[in-house]
């Protein structure tokens, strides 16, 4: 088994070495020569951090240099995104961001980046539906009961999210638009703190992506998922209905996590990174760990991520307009 994994890793290394050779002289200059830092836009405990830590060991093995994870939370992900947008485009500073990457450019008045101009997509890492959750002892058995209670007491219910402009936040606003129920949004600096808030009773509702501490709290019976926002039920949540199944139309959303490099990073380096990510995500043991953590590995590569960004930036811009969300 171990020998087989080593052979698979060697084949992956040879494949990405070939990609590097095809990428031009600038990429052939012995990159990488030193450790690579991946900056994560949220704190430990959420699905974004989980995805980064799932792929980092495999990238380090293939590239032959340490891959260090650095969490820089704040401003709904903008702090980390802005740092990497301004980083030297040498392949040594990368970004792992959630769907805030395709949201914040429309959400904030003066975002510190342009999603098309400032970054080179490397590859999607994983994706998961957003979950609408309550405490297990809330007495709520269904989303219909929660919506009815929120309509009866419109100033009572708060929902925690991983931050302003995250897809869980926008999923909550879409839920309000589609049902007419009112929930007050309480943003946190990531899914981990948001989970702690509902467990402590600070908020009555949690909307966050599947995975990380959210997954753990659901499995432990501390919180109950009333609905998921994906197009279909996913493994690990087969007993949780989708919003579509519950009669709430046009409310499908998911949170993705992806790897980006600064825009002027040499194409050969971007190609090497993209091939390495694909190699890691296709390993059965990595896919199993993703599923155990409540995520679905999505080996889309650089082209797939580029298409995703092009599709979702205008999608969420329209949701933000309809919900009248604005952040200075």
CB atoms within 10 A of CB 306: 17
- The band of 22, judged by pLDDT with boundaries at 50, 70 and 90, is very low
- The band of 27, judged by pLDDT with boundaries at 50, 70 and 90, is very low
Q: Residue 326: pLDDT above 90?
A: no
Residue 327 burial class via C-beta count within 10 angstroms: exposed 0-12, middle 13-18, buried 19 and up: middle
- Please report, rounded to a whole number, the percentage of residues in the chain having pLDDT higher than 90: 66
Calculate the alpha carbon distances from 223 to 11, 26, 219, 220, 260 in Å: 43, 51, 8, 8, 33
- The band of 51, judged by pLDDT with boundaries at 50, 70 and 90, is very high
pLDDT, tens only, 270-299: 999 999 999 999 999 999 998 887 788 989
| Multiple choice CATH, 2-127+255-323, 1.10.20.10, 3.40.190.150, 3.40.640.10, 3.20.20.70 | 3.40.190.150
Residue 2 has a pLDDT of 37
Residue 244 has a pLDDT of 95
Residue 291 has a pLDDT of 84
Summary mean pLDDT of the chain: 88
Residue 9 has a pLDDT of 46
Stronger pLDDT, 150 or 295, i.e. the higher one: 150
* Cross-strand bridge partners of residue 94: 38
Mean pLDDT in residue range 166-179: 92
DSSP state at residue 25: G
Residue 18 has a pLDDT of 45
Residue 29 has a pLDDT of 62
Q: Residue 147: pLDDT above 60?
A: yes
pLDDT, tens only, 179-190: 999 999 999 988
128-228 and 2-127+255-323 share a CATH fold: yes
pLDDT, tens only, 95-143: 999 998 999 999 998 999 999 999 999 999 998 889 999 999 999 999 9
**In the chain, domain spans:** 2-127+255-323, 128-228
Q: Residue 324: pLDDT above 90?
A: no
pLDDT, tens only, 218-257: 989 999 999 999 888 988 788 999 999 999 998 888 889 9
Give the β-pairing of 36-40 and 205-209.
Answer: unpaired
- The band of 166, judged by pLDDT with boundaries at 50, 70 and 90, is confident
Residue 328 has a pLDDT of 65
Q: Residue 6: pLDDT above 50?
A: no
Residue 26 has a pLDDT of 46
- Please report, rounded to a whole number, the percentage of residues in the chain having pLDDT higher than 70: 91
Instruction: Answer whether 0.85 is exceeded by the pTM.
Output: no
d(C-alpha 167, C-alpha 56), whole Å: 24
Residue with the two structure tokens 């087989």 = 4
Q: Residue 325: pLDDT above 60?
A: yes
Structure tokens at 85: 């947008």
Check: CATH 1.25.60.10 for 128-228?
Answer: no
Residue 67 has a pLDDT of 98
d(C-alpha 272, C-alpha 120), whole Å: 13
């Amino acid at each position: 088994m171990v020998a087989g994994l080593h052979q698979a890793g060697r084949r992956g290394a040879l494949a990405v070495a070939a990609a590097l050779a095809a990428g031009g002289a600038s990429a052939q200059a012995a990159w990488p020569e030193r450790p690579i830092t991946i900056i994560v836009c949220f704190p430990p405990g959420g699905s974004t951090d989980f995805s980064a830590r799932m792929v980092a060991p495999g990238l380090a093995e293939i590239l032959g240099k340490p891959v260090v994870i650095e969490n820089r939370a704040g401003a709904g992900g903008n702090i980390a995104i802005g740092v990497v947008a301004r980083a030297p485009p040498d392949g040594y500073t990368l970004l792992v961001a959630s769907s805030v990457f395709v949201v914040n450019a429309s959400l904030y008045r003066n975002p510190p980046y342009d999603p098309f101009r400032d970054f080179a997509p490397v590859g999607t890492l994983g994706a998961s539906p957003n979950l609408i959750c309550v405490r297990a002892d809330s007495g709520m058995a269904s989303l219909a009961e929660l919506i009815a209670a929120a309509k009866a007491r419109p100033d009572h219910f708060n929902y925690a999210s991983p931050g302003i402009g995250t897809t869980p936040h926008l999923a909550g606003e879409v839920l309000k638009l589609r049902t007419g129920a009112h929930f007050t949004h309480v943003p946190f600096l990531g899914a981990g703190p948001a989970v702690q808030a509902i467990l402590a009773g600070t908020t009555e509702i949690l909307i966050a992506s599947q995975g990380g501490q959210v997954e753990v709290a659901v499995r432990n019976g501390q919180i109950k998922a009333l609905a998921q926002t994906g197009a279909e039920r996913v493994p690990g949540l087969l007993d949780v209905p989708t919003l579509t199944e519950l009669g709430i139309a046009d409310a499908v959303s998911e949170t993705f996590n992806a790897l980006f490099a600064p825009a002027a990073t040499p194409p050969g380096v971007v190609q090497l990174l993209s091939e390495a990510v694909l190699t890691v995500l296709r390993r059965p043991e990595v896919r199993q760990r993703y599923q155990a953590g409540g995520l679905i590995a999505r080996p889309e590569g650089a082209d797939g991520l580029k298409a995703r960004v092009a599709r979702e930036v205008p999608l969420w811009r329209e949701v933000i307009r309809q919900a009248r969300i604005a952040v200075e």
